Amino acid sequence: MFGFDNPAAFFLLLFIPVIYFLRYLKILSGIYFPLNLGDWNGRSFLWNKGFRKILSATVRVFVMAAYVLLVTALADPVMRITEKVYTSRGSDIVFVVDVSPSMAARDIGSGQRLDAAKAAIKQIAASNSGDSFGLVEMAQTAALVVPPTMDRKSFFSRLDSLAVGELGDGTAIGTGLSCAVYHLENSSSPKKSIVLMTDGENNSGSVHPHTAAKFAASKGISLYVLGIGKRGTVPLEYSDPKTGHVYSGYLESEFDGTSLSKIAAEGEGKYFEIDSMQSLSQSVSSVSKNENVVQTYFIKNNDRKLYFNFIVAAAVLCLLAWILRRLFLQEVL
């Protein structure tokens, strides 16, 4: 937020209309001695009246602008950035995101299923500003790519970089859930949860998803399963991150939320079927509401003083005005 610590300084701007009024009454006016010199054998001095008027007006504008900038500097401009500093922990939420090739299908809004998952995560993060977020990507295998953190910049940067096909073809739901549980079980947060976002059935990995879901429940970790997709023929296009080969065509989607709802039930959690942006928004609101934790915090102000910038700008304008008057108007100052 931009503001001023000494706004009373702006009363000095009243001198501008006062000076112009006094000059209009000829009470305050400059003294000029026009002097035309011509060399005995040289060319006589030529006065371009129109050009001089334009330059004189420009000089006056520069001087007036410099005065305004100096008054603004005296008003002590400041860029004030307020920041919440939390003194108690919020929820720890780990998102397990499917990056298998089928997540490139375009049947949720105008983007890929993976795009819908990213949008949901960002919406949850915006609603739970004091929480810590982690990220597990999952396909043929699973890996923690962001441990639970409140560093939104790092988290969103890695989230945006998720790409379909990074971990091969397959859906290791059990492995992804186990990885998330492993990094949450020792957390001291008052609430811990896993948000699984996938469009398929478990067909890879050595851990059964029901086993992983029960393990999460035994550790007091809430489970939310978001099944993203529709049945039928849907367009699909993506570029393989490893080979660069572009796959384009149609996917015969056999999306079935039955197995996903069973996983949620085994983990004593909730299942949401995402087949539109509206259902996505509703599920996100429910997750945000359930994981909200009342936290204590204080407001920290990070002030950035800007007066020096205005002084430098005023000095530049004064220098330009001097150059115009001395070199182009040929006035003796």
Q: pLDDT by residue (tens digit) across 111-127?
A: 899 999 999 999 888 88
Question: What does the pLDDT profile of the chain (333 residues) look like in tens digits?
Answer: 788 889 999 999 888 888 878 777 877 766 665 655 555 565 555 555 677 778 888 888 999 999 999 999 999 999 888 776 666 678 899 999 999 999 999 999 888 999 999 999 998 888 877 889 999 999 999 999 999 998 999 999 999 999 999 998 889 999 999 999 999 999 888 899 999 999 988 888 889 999 999 999 999 999 999 999 988 899 998 888 888 888 889 988 888 889 999 999 999 999 999 988 899 889 988 898 888 876 566 677 778 889 999 999 999 999 998 888 887 776 655
106 and 207 share one domain: yes
Q: Are residues 321 and 174 in the same domain?
A: no
Token pair of 25, please? Answer: 């009454």
Could you tell me if residue 64 is inside a domain?
yes
pTM: 0.69
| Helix ranges, the chain (H) | 15-24, 49-74, 113-127, 152-161, 173-182, 209-218, 258-266, 277-290, 307-323
Is 203 found in the same domain as 159? yes
Q: Are 36 and 92 members of one domain?
A: no
Sign of the CA dihedral 317, 323, 326, 329?
A: negative
- CA-based nearest residue to 332, from 34, 57, 63, 2: 34
In what helix (H) or strand (E) does residue 251 lie, and over which residues does it extend? strand 246-254
Residues 190 and 216 in one domain: yes
pLDDT tens by residue, 8-17? 999 998 888 8
Q: What is the pLDDT of residue 295?
A: 58
Residue 265 lies in a domain: yes
Q: Are residues 75 and 101 in the same domain?
A: no
Q: Which residues pair with 3 in a beta bridge?
A: 78
19 is a domain residue: yes
Do 137 and 274 share a domain, yes or no? yes
**Domain with 148 in it: what CATH number?**
3.40.50.410
Judgement on whether residues 177 and 311 belong to the same structural domain of the protein: no
Say if 298 falls within a structural domain. Answer: no
User: Do 170 and 258 belong together in one domain?
Assistant: yes
Query: Do residues 261 and 156 both lie within one domain?
Result: yes
> 188: domain range?
88-290
Count of structural domains within the chain: 2
Does residue 92 fall inside a structural domain?
yes
